[in-house]
A and B are shown apart, each in its own frame.
Chain A
Amino acid sequence: MNMLSLRNIGIGLGLLFLATLPLWMQHPYYINTSSQILYWAIIALGLNVLVGYAGLTSLGHAGLFAITGYTVALLVDAGFGHLTAAIAAIALTLAATAVFAVLALRATGIGFLMITLALGQIVWGIAYRWVDLTNGDNGVNLKVRPMPFGIDLSSPSAFYWATFIAFVVALVAMQLFVRSPFGATVRGTRDQPRRMNALGFNVWLIQFLAFLFSGFWCAIGGLLYIYYNQFVAPPVAGLQSSAEVLLMVISGGTGTLLGPIAGAAIVIIIKNVVSAWIERWNLVLGLIFVIIISFMPDGLVPGIRRLWRTMRGTDAAEAAAARASAKLASGQTDAKEKGGVQ
């Protein structure tokens, strides 16, 4: 109970910190970086539904938020209003998600990862080569950001707050999802697929819905992406992009609420901030991932939590139990993966 309230206080302080950020962070560049972290965090949270809770590792999510971005940019360019474009983009992304899900859910484990990778590459291939539709490598510009309720989002802080609101909504939705019976069944399909099946749950349908839920948040993140950058081009849909989001989720810690957020912060800060000082930032990024994985294979957030417990001298038994359960969880995914491609 004590831990829990401590955690709640922490989350409250964190949100307060984020909500007031533009007030004390005068520098527009850092406000913009924070906006980027938040919308990437939304996407990472979306992906985490699949990776963390459903135990399905997707390497094709970039294809989904790229579809959102392209749809918005192309429709606005063709003269449609922002609202129409946004709704159409979300709808199209969900449709694409459904196709992804139907195809990819034929497999689990590595098989799932490969199918999603291939699907993502198809989206990338269309963005890259179907030049008449997507303008190929030149990308598509979005002339102006939308003005929801007449609010001008062109300044860094205005855009930051809009992103922050979306972020909070996403966070609440995730929390509700995790606590809901649906969330429990999703975790059930991850840990005990056969038993779930035997109990009369439609495992496929549960995973399908989880995929849609995940796709929806990718669409929201994708909307913010295109509004922020006002530009979309093929690399957004590429493997590197999918890999980066997955790295956010894994490095932060799968199946936790804070993990993907921490992961998004790490990746974006290294990409944008560290790269200004250290030329070889890819090296740093790669090194950090190798280190995290070598020393905290279950990700940063669970790793630090464990470290924290050990340091506070909480009885060793608890730490050991946590470690054991972590091992068990990965062992189970492992077992499932072996059954995967069959």
Chain B
Amino acid sequence: MSSLHLTLAVNSVAMGGLLFLLSSGFSLIFGLMRIPNLMHGSFFMLGAYIGFSMIGKGMWFWAAAIGGGIAMALLGGLIERLLLRRLAGQTLPQVLLTLGFSFMIADICLMIWTGDPFQPPTPAHLRGAWIVGDMVFPIYRLVMVLVAVVIAALLWLLVDKTRIGAMIRAGVDDPEIARAVGIKVSQLFTLIFCLGAGLAGFAGVIGAPFLSIYPGLDAEMLPLALIIVILGGSGSLLGAFVGSFIIGFLFNFGQAMFPNLAYVILFLPMVLILVLRPQGLFGKLGS
């Protein structure tokens, strides 16, 4: 393994961590509510912008990240309560509504934060890199992976060990039965939507020192979240986790090794999965 491959591998893992933060919420929304939330990339971008402004006001980086997450959770909750709710079960209108919001959010971001690219500085205590021989490991990226793993563990605890988690699982497996046994699916949906949007916003801030924030970021992240969830299986956290790292690797190695077909390499596995195992690698849907 050459140093190029090693650098790519390290970066793939870092990117995988970030992608997990983005896609886990998407997966829950998609899996539980069957909503193709095409504004998920917009939550990521808007959260990042808001977090950036908070940092600019002197806020601590991690507090700003949580702030960006909370702001998106509130926005997501509002949209879900007021609008999406009324379209329950109607895919087409949901697609249109979420797309409409993604257009609007993109334009509002451009209005407020102009077209200037922003890159909040990496938090001071996490700057620099570990250098091992010829190899460079940027500390911040490693921390990103750590954060992703912690969040993954928390989510796993939430879904597997709590009452709410049990309801979520029941909802993913069979929404009708869940409703029938008296689970308040409506409140659960709002909660999940807030959680998903919040995670996306949080991911946006965390990713900002690495990806920077600029108009068009939303449209870059949305397809990645989509592929990951399809690959891993909607509603499955494990699937989102594994899918994120697969895509992290495909993205990094594809770009470097086969630049001409980089995007084919990115999307082809998703097509194959959909054809061969439509419920995804770890999907629970299916008879």
A contacting B, Cβ–Cβ less than 8 Å = yes
Given contacts A113-B36, A282-B106, A294-B86, whether A57 and B99 have CB atoms under 8 Å apart is no
Taking the complex as formed, is A341 at the interface, i.e. its CB lies under 8 A from any CB of chain B? yes
New A-B contacts (13) at CB < 8 Å, excluding given A114-B274, A119-B271, A124-B263: A57-B91, A106-B278, A117-B226, A125-B262, A126-B261, A239-B223, A246-B95, A250-B95, A289-B103, A293-B96, A297-B87, A333-B90, A342-B278
Q: In the complex, which residues of chain B have a beta carbon less than 8 angstroms from the beta carbon of A239?
A: 219, 222-223
Of the listed stretches A38-46, A127-135, A146-154, chain B binds A127-135
Determine the distance from Cα of A93 to Cα of B107 in the docked complex, in whole angstroms. 34
Of the listed stretches B5-13, B54-62, B191-199, B279-287, chain A binds B279-287
Q: Are B261 and A129 in contact (CB under 8 A)?
A: yes
Q: Are B260 and A131 in contact (CB under 8 A)?
A: yes
Residue in A closest to B279 when the chains form the complex, CB atoms: A341
Which chain A residues have a beta carbon within 8 Å of chain B's beta carbons?
Answer: 51, 57, 59, 103, 106-107, 109-111, 113-115, 117-119, 121-122, 124-126, 128-132, 239-240, 243, 246-247, 250-251, 254, 280, 282-283, 285-290, 292-294, 297, 330-331, 333-334, 337-338, 341-342
Q: Are A280 and B111 in contact (CB under 8 A)?
A: yes
Taking the complex as formed, is B92 at the interface, i.e. its CB lies under 8 A from any CB of chain A? yes
- 29 interchain pairs, CB-CB under 8 A: A57-B91, A103-B271, A109-B91, A110-B30, A110-B91, A111-B278, A119-B271, A121-B263, A122-B271, A125-B261, A125-B264, A129-B261, A130-B260, A246-B95, A250-B96, A251-B96, A282-B104, A283-B107, A283-B108, A283-B111, A286-B101, A289-B103, A292-B96, A293-B87, A293-B93, A294-B97, A297-B87, A341-B278, A342-B279
Interface of B is mostly: helix
Interface of A is mostly: helix
Q: Are A331 and B278 in contact (CB under 8 A)?
A: no
Determine the distance from Cα of A246 to Cα of B99 in the docked complex, in whole angstroms. 10
Q: Are A285 and B263 in contact (CB under 8 A)?
A: no
Given contacts A111-B274, A118-B274, whether A297 and B104 have CB atoms under 8 Å apart is no
Residue in A closest to B259 when the chains form the complex, CB atoms: A129
Taking the complex as formed, is B270 at the interface, i.e. its CB lies under 8 A from any CB of chain A? yes
A127 to chain B, nearest CB (A): 9
Given contacts A118-B230, A130-B260, A290-B101, whether A250 and B274 have CB atoms under 8 Å apart is no
Instruction: Sort A-B residue pairs by CB-CB distance and give the 9 closest, nearest first.
Output: A125-B263, A286-B103, A289-B100, A286-B104, A283-B107, A334-B89, A282-B107, A290-B100, A286-B100
